[in-house]
Amino acid sequence: MSRFNNLGQAPTVVASGVVNSALDVYSARKLGKMQARFVRQLASDSVKMEYVQFLVDRFRILCEMIVSTTDVDPSSLGFQAMLKEGMAAYAKYDGNCKGSIKDPTTKQVIGDYFRDGRVENTTMPKETGLIWSTGCKNALDAARIAYLREDKDEDRFAVVRDQMTQLGNRDTLVRFALWGGIIFSVLIALKMQFRVIKATSPHKKKRHKKKHKN
Protein backbone atom coordinates (compact mmCIF):
# COMPACT_ATOMS: atom_id res chain seq x y z
CA MET A 1 0.00 0.00 0.00
CA SER A 2 2.83 2.41 0.89
CA ARG A 3 4.31 1.69 -2.55
CA PHE A 4 1.08 2.98 -4.11
CA ASN A 5 1.18 5.97 -1.77
CA ASN A 6 4.66 6.82 -3.02
CA LEU A 7 3.53 6.35 -6.59
CA GLY A 8 0.65 8.77 -5.97
CA GLN A 9 3.05 11.39 -4.62
CA ALA A 10 5.54 11.08 -7.49
CA PRO A 11 3.69 12.88 -10.34
CA THR A 12 2.79 15.83 -8.14
CA VAL A 13 6.38 16.11 -6.86
CA VAL A 14 7.62 16.09 -10.45
CA ALA A 15 4.92 18.54 -11.57
CA SER A 16 5.53 20.97 -8.72
CA GLY A 17 9.28 20.66 -9.27
CA VAL A 18 8.90 21.52 -12.95
CA VAL A 19 6.56 24.44 -12.22
CA ASN A 20 8.82 25.77 -9.46
CA SER A 21 11.89 25.48 -11.68
CA ALA A 22 10.08 27.28 -14.50
CA LEU A 23 9.05 29.94 -12.01
CA ASP A 24 12.68 30.26 -10.82
CA VAL A 25 13.96 30.65 -14.37
CA TYR A 26 11.22 33.16 -15.25
CA SER A 27 11.84 35.15 -12.08
CA ALA A 28 15.61 35.12 -12.55
CA ARG A 29 15.21 36.37 -16.13
CA LYS A 30 12.83 39.10 -14.97
CA LEU A 31 15.21 40.21 -12.23
CA GLY A 32 18.10 40.09 -14.67
CA LYS A 33 16.19 42.27 -17.11
CA MET A 34 15.32 44.66 -14.32
CA GLN A 35 18.99 44.88 -13.35
CA ALA A 36 20.07 45.40 -16.94
CA ARG A 37 17.46 48.13 -17.35
CA PHE A 38 18.77 49.79 -14.19
CA VAL A 39 22.35 49.65 -15.41
CA ARG A 40 21.22 51.13 -18.74
CA GLN A 41 19.39 53.88 -16.86
CA LEU A 42 22.49 54.64 -14.79
CA ALA A 43 24.60 54.88 -17.93
CA SER A 44 22.05 57.11 -19.66
CA ASP A 45 21.73 59.30 -16.54
CA SER A 46 25.48 59.59 -16.37
CA VAL A 47 25.62 60.85 -19.99
CA LYS A 48 22.83 63.35 -19.29
CA MET A 49 24.54 64.58 -16.12
CA GLU A 50 27.82 64.94 -18.01
CA TYR A 51 26.07 67.02 -20.64
CA VAL A 52 24.58 69.36 -18.01
CA GLN A 53 28.03 69.58 -16.37
CA PHE A 54 29.46 70.53 -19.76
CA LEU A 55 26.85 73.31 -20.02
CA VAL A 56 27.74 74.50 -16.53
CA ASP A 57 31.44 74.59 -17.47
CA ARG A 58 30.60 76.52 -20.60
CA PHE A 59 28.48 78.91 -18.54
CA ARG A 60 31.39 79.47 -16.14
CA ILE A 61 33.84 80.14 -18.96
CA LEU A 62 31.38 82.58 -20.50
CA CYS A 63 31.06 84.42 -17.17
CA GLU A 64 34.85 84.67 -16.84
CA MET A 65 35.14 85.83 -20.44
CA ILE A 66 32.59 88.60 -19.98
CA VAL A 67 34.28 89.79 -16.80
CA SER A 68 37.73 89.85 -18.39
CA THR A 69 36.68 91.53 -21.62
CA THR A 70 34.09 94.03 -20.41
CA ASP A 71 33.41 96.29 -17.44
CA VAL A 72 29.95 94.85 -16.80
CA ASP A 73 29.11 94.07 -13.16
CA PRO A 74 28.14 90.36 -12.76
CA SER A 75 25.25 91.43 -10.50
CA SER A 76 23.75 93.66 -13.20
CA LEU A 77 20.99 92.95 -15.70
CA GLY A 78 23.39 93.72 -18.52
CA PHE A 79 25.56 90.79 -17.48
CA GLN A 80 22.54 88.45 -17.51
CA ALA A 81 21.61 89.72 -20.96
CA MET A 82 25.11 88.90 -22.22
CA LEU A 83 24.87 85.42 -20.71
CA LYS A 84 21.52 84.96 -22.44
CA GLU A 85 23.16 85.76 -25.75
CA GLY A 86 26.20 83.61 -25.07
CA MET A 87 24.21 80.54 -24.06
CA ALA A 88 21.65 80.81 -26.89
CA ALA A 89 23.11 77.87 -28.81
CA TYR A 90 22.79 75.52 -25.85
CA ALA A 91 19.97 76.85 -23.71
CA LYS A 92 17.25 79.43 -23.56
CA TYR A 93 18.66 81.27 -20.56
CA ASP A 94 16.12 83.54 -18.87
CA GLY A 95 18.51 85.00 -16.27
CA ASN A 96 19.00 84.42 -12.54
CA CYS A 97 19.97 80.76 -13.19
CA LYS A 98 16.60 79.94 -14.74
CA GLY A 99 16.53 78.49 -18.21
CA SER A 100 15.53 75.75 -20.61
CA ILE A 101 18.22 73.39 -21.81
CA LYS A 102 18.19 72.34 -25.46
CA ASP A 103 18.99 68.93 -26.91
CA PRO A 104 22.48 69.20 -28.47
CA THR A 105 21.37 67.54 -31.71
CA THR A 106 17.70 68.44 -32.26
CA LYS A 107 17.89 71.81 -30.48
CA GLN A 108 14.55 71.03 -28.86
CA VAL A 109 14.00 72.06 -25.23
CA ILE A 110 14.64 69.04 -23.00
CA GLY A 111 13.92 70.53 -19.60
CA ASP A 112 13.19 73.66 -17.61
CA TYR A 113 15.80 74.36 -14.94
CA PHE A 114 15.40 76.64 -11.93
CA ARG A 115 17.70 78.44 -9.49
CA ASP A 116 16.47 76.33 -6.55
CA GLY A 117 17.51 73.03 -8.19
CA ARG A 118 14.07 72.14 -9.50
CA VAL A 119 13.76 70.59 -12.93
CA GLU A 120 10.46 70.41 -14.82
CA ASN A 121 9.07 69.07 -18.11
CA THR A 122 11.91 66.67 -18.62
CA THR A 123 13.09 63.09 -18.80
CA MET A 124 16.45 64.18 -17.46
CA PRO A 125 17.48 62.84 -14.03
CA LYS A 126 16.66 65.06 -11.03
CA GLU A 127 20.38 65.40 -10.24
CA THR A 128 20.84 67.55 -13.34
CA GLY A 129 18.74 70.23 -11.64
CA LEU A 130 21.20 70.32 -8.75
CA ILE A 131 24.21 70.27 -11.06
CA TRP A 132 22.78 73.21 -13.01
CA SER A 133 21.68 75.34 -10.05
CA THR A 134 24.87 74.80 -8.02
CA GLY A 135 27.09 75.27 -11.07
CA CYS A 136 25.24 78.38 -12.19
CA LYS A 137 25.29 80.04 -8.77
CA ASN A 138 28.96 79.13 -8.32
CA ALA A 139 29.81 80.50 -11.77
CA LEU A 140 28.11 83.80 -10.93
CA ASP A 141 29.96 83.99 -7.62
CA ALA A 142 33.23 83.19 -9.41
CA ALA A 143 32.46 86.00 -11.86
CA ARG A 144 31.83 88.36 -8.93
CA ILE A 145 35.16 87.29 -7.39
CA ALA A 146 36.95 87.92 -10.71
CA TYR A 147 35.20 91.29 -11.03
CA LEU A 148 36.22 92.33 -7.50
CA ARG A 149 39.80 91.24 -8.21
CA GLU A 150 39.86 93.23 -11.42
CA ASP A 151 38.45 96.19 -9.54
CA LYS A 152 41.15 95.80 -6.91
CA ASP A 153 43.83 95.52 -9.61
CA GLU A 154 42.53 98.68 -11.23
CA ASP A 155 42.60 100.46 -7.87
CA ARG A 156 46.16 99.31 -7.32
CA PHE A 157 47.12 100.40 -10.78
CA ALA A 158 45.62 103.83 -10.06
CA VAL A 159 47.59 104.04 -6.79
CA VAL A 160 50.82 103.09 -8.58
CA ARG A 161 50.08 105.56 -11.40
CA ASP A 162 49.40 108.36 -8.89
CA GLN A 163 52.60 107.58 -7.05
CA MET A 164 54.62 107.53 -10.27
CA THR A 165 53.10 110.84 -11.35
CA GLN A 166 53.84 112.39 -7.97
CA LEU A 167 57.41 111.10 -7.96
CA GLY A 168 57.88 112.18 -11.57
CA ASN A 169 56.61 115.69 -10.83
CA ARG A 170 58.88 116.00 -7.82
CA ASP A 171 61.80 114.70 -9.85
CA THR A 172 61.18 117.18 -12.68
CA LEU A 173 60.90 120.06 -10.21
CA VAL A 174 64.13 119.13 -8.47
CA ARG A 175 65.95 118.61 -11.77
CA PHE A 176 64.76 121.97 -12.98
CA ALA A 177 65.88 123.68 -9.79
CA LEU A 178 69.26 121.96 -9.78
CA TRP A 179 69.98 122.65 -13.45
CA GLY A 180 68.87 126.22 -12.92
CA GLY A 181 71.29 126.50 -10.03
CA ILE A 182 74.12 124.96 -12.00
CA ILE A 183 73.56 127.13 -15.06
CA PHE A 184 73.36 130.23 -12.89
CA SER A 185 76.57 129.38 -11.03
CA VAL A 186 78.36 128.48 -14.28
CA LEU A 187 77.32 131.82 -15.77
CA ILE A 188 78.57 133.66 -12.71
CA ALA A 189 81.81 131.69 -12.77
CA LEU A 190 82.27 132.47 -16.47
CA LYS A 191 81.57 136.14 -15.89
CA MET A 192 84.15 136.28 -13.12
CA GLN A 193 86.61 134.36 -15.23
CA PHE A 194 86.21 136.81 -18.14
CA ARG A 195 86.71 139.74 -15.78
CA VAL A 196 89.86 138.20 -14.40
CA ILE A 197 91.18 137.48 -17.90
CA LYS A 198 90.36 141.02 -18.91
CA ALA A 199 92.12 142.44 -15.86
CA THR A 200 95.26 140.37 -16.36
CA SER A 201 95.58 140.90 -20.13
CA PRO A 202 98.80 143.07 -21.12
CA HIS A 203 96.75 145.29 -23.48
CA LYS A 204 94.57 146.36 -20.61
CA LYS A 205 97.63 147.01 -18.43
CA LYS A 206 99.14 149.33 -21.10
CA ARG A 207 95.90 151.30 -21.41
CA HIS A 208 95.87 151.62 -17.66
CA LYS A 209 99.42 153.03 -17.63
CA LYS A 210 98.62 155.52 -20.45
CA LYS A 211 95.64 156.74 -18.57
CA HIS A 212 97.71 157.35 -15.43
CA LYS A 213 100.48 159.23 -17.39
CA ASN A 214 98.00 161.64 -18.92
Partner 1 sequence: MLEIKGVGPVVGSKGLVSFTTIGAAIGTVIPGLGTLIGAAVGSVIDVAINWKDKKKAKRKMKKALQAALIQRYHNTIFYSALQRMNEAMFYLVELGLKPGTLDYDAALRKKLFSEIGYEGGCSVKLYGPPPDRPLIAHIDKEGKVIASSGYVTQDLPGQWKQACQELHQATLKAWLEMQADEINFKKELQKEDLDAQKSLITRVMVNAGAIILLVAYSKRQKKKLKVLNESV
Least distance between partner 1 and beta carbon 80 (Å) = 18
**Quick count: other Cβ atoms within 10 Å of Cβ 72?**
17
Q: Which stretch binds partner 1 (CB under 8 A): 65-73, 81-89, 100-108, 122-130?
A: 122-130
Q: What residues numbered 151-180 form the site for partner 1, per CB under 8 A?
A: 156, 159-160, 163, 167, 170-171, 174-175, 178-179
Tell me the closest approach of the beta carbon of residue 137 to partner 1, in angstroms: 6
Nearer Cβ to partner 1, position 13 or 89?
13
Distance CA 62, CA 82 (A): 9
Asked if 25 interacts with partner 1 (CB under 8 A), we say no
Q: Which residue number, 90 or 113, has a Cβ lying nearer to partner 1?
A: 113
Three-state secondary structure of 87-138: CCCCEEEEECCEEEEECCCCCCEEEEECCCCCEECCCCCCHHHHHHHHHHHH
At its nearest, how many Å lie between partner 1 and the CB of residue 20? Answer: 5
27 residue type, one letter: S
d(CA 59, CA 84): 10
135 to 96, 115, 141, 200: CA distances (angstroms): 12, 10, 10, 94
Judged by CB under 8 A, the chain residues 125 through 144 that form the site for partner 1 are: 126-127, 129-131, 133-134, 137-138, 141-142, 144
Q: Considering only residues 182-211, where is the footprint of partner 1 by CB under 8 A? A: 182, 185-186, 188-189, 191-193, 195-196, 199-200, 205, 208
Query: In whole angstroms, how close is the CB of 122 to partner 1 at the nearest point?
Result: 13
Q: Give the three-class secondary structure for 28.
A: helix
Q: Give every CB contact of residue 101 below 8 A, 6+ residues apart in sequence.
A: 52, 55, 90, 91, 109, 110, 111, 113, 124, 132
In Å, how far are 123, 132, 159, 173, 190 from 184, measured between CA atoms? Answer: 90, 76, 37, 16, 10
Residue number with CB closer to partner 1 (16 or 70): 16
Sites of contact with partner 1 (CB under 8 A): 1, 4-6, 8-9, 11-13, 15-16, 19-20, 23-24, 26-27, 30-31, 34-35, 38, 114, 116-118, 126-127, 129-131, 133-134, 137-138, 141-142, 144-145, 148-149, 156, 159-160, 163, 167, 170-171, 174-175, 178-179, 181-182, 185-186, 188-189, 191-193, 195-196, 199-200, 205, 208
